[in-house]
A and B are shown apart, each in its own frame.
Chain A
Amino acid sequence: MEKLQINPIFSVSDFIAVINQTLEYAYPTVEVEGEVASFKVNQGKYVFFDIKDQGGSVGCFMSVWQLRVPIEDGMKVVVSAVPKLTQWGKFSLTVKTVRPSGEGAIKKSFELLKAKLDAEGLFSTERKRILPVIPKHVAVISSIQAAGYADFIKILDDRWGGLRVDVGHVQVQGTDAPDQIIRALNYFNGRDDLPEVIVIIRGGGSADDLAAFNDEQLVRAIAASRVPTLVGVGHEVDISLSDLAADVSASTPSNAAQILVPDKSEIIRAVRVQIGSLLPRILRLIDQQKQAISDAINGAFESIELAVEQRMLQISNLKSVLVQLDPNTVLNRGYALIRGAQTVGSIIEVETNKVILKAEVKNVVNK
């Protein structure tokens, strides 16, 4: 006997609802990789595109705010989406996230967003703020399990002390990472006791690992941060858009610690050099003063000697004059000294340089 099979009869709406329930049960979320085609944005709010490969094409829908990276036709992407049958019976993917797939697409998306944000001035050097020389309170946004975080803390502890470090633990890769980092940024920016710097760090990884730091909303949040930001993501060669939007960019998490605080061993060495230079400086100044005193004394002696020489010369000159005035000098030249009245018949005394004789005056004639 043939078994009777009874098929349920649905209304169209019920049928669509049942299909969607079945899809939701079987595939709550699917990830589909393909090439973007027919990309368009309607009313500035709704994004439509197809994702296709050689064998087929599926329509995709999402809202503009969910689109975190720029995409364009021909770009290879992975969409994370909910499959859905619309009320018009058309099958589509309601996309939650879309990310570029493959090196070429990631690079293309990066360049598109970079050009867009650069045109808005988000990377302008005029926007950059200076970090405090020695901060007392900083916030760090990173995964506390990441090697980059451990490197940062080690270098920080080696270089400086007395710092208050508040750490916001977040995912630093994957689709949830940008939103978590944005929430952490908002949290620290909303605190009553604002940190002086917000440091965002993540160690090296593949381009896909670091893609979170090229998320448009995250880049905008970094640029809008009230608190100055220091971003150290990846290796030396990696440049993310978050790096470009930050007030200061470090090449690695370790480098971020080096930028954030001075090295205490360098300060200790500099302080020792300063103190070490003082004593020789004092001794040199004492030597200079001793030399000045010695020069002054020598100058005084020279002045005294000069004055004595001048007096001696004067005395010598006076002596010469005195010698010339001595009567003996005149007598030695052959002259004679006459004493007594110079009248006829009187006796006078005549003194030469050799003898004294008495003589009578015989005659007196006036000249």
Chain B
Amino acid sequence: MSSTNKTIQEKTTELTKLVAWFDSDEFTLEQAIDNFKAAEKLAAEIEQDLLSLKNEIQIVKQKFDSEN
């Protein structure tokens, strides 16, 4: 996970919002470059997170072959 401590889902949501901004009425060319750079950085973080995260698999100690 990158330093921002956001989950992949949060980052993906943020990226979707940033991309949607380019089609919104709030779009200005002056802001576009900054938002583009932010989206590019976020995309790189998401990709890095996805590729680096490993699942933590743990076999529970509890035995189920008899009651208790």
> Footprint of B on A, CB under 8 Å?
133-134, 136, 144, 153, 156-157, 160-171, 176, 180-181, 183-184, 187, 264, 267-268, 271-272, 274-275, 277-279, 281-282, 285-286, 289
Contacts and interface: CB of A to CB of B under 8 A. Distances in A.
Contacts of B33: 282
Interface in B1-59: 1, 7-9, 12, 15-16, 19, 22-23, 27, 29, 32-33, 36, 39-40, 43, 46-47, 49-59
B40 A165 contact: no
B15 to A, nearest CB: 7
Contacts of A271: 12, 15, 43, 46-47
B29 A162 contact: no
B55 A285 contact: no
Contact of B59 (A163, A167, A264, A282): A167
A157 B57 CA distance: 10
By Cβ-Cβ distance, the 3 closest A-B pairs, closest first, are A161-B53, A162-B53, A264-B50
Given A274-B15, A289-B29, 17 more contacts: A134-B9, A153-B55, A162-B54, A162-B55, A171-B65, A176-B65, A180-B64, A181-B64, A183-B64, A264-B50, A271-B46, A272-B47, A275-B40, A277-B19, A281-B22, A281-B23, A285-B22
A168 B50 contact: no
Given A169-B64, A282-B36, A163 B55 contact: yes
Nearest to B56: A164
Given A267-B50, A274-B19, A275-B43, A187 B62 contact: yes
Contacts of A168: 60, 62, 64
Q: Which of the listed residues A180, A271, A272, A285 has the most CB atoms from chain B within 10 Å of its own CB?
A: A271
Contacts of A184: 62, 64
B59 A169 contact: yes
A278 B56 contact: no
Contacts of A285: 22, 27, 29, 32
Nearest to B21: A278
A169 B62 CA distance: 9
B20 to A, nearest CB: 10
A281 B32 CA distance: 10
A90 B4 CA distance: 77
B56 A165 contact: yes
Contacts of A164: 55-56, 58
Contacts of A165: 55-58
Given A278-B39, A281-B22, A167 B58 contact: yes
Contacts of A169: 59-60, 64
B5 to A, nearest CB: 13
Contacts of B57: 153, 165, 167
Contacts of B36: 278-279, 282
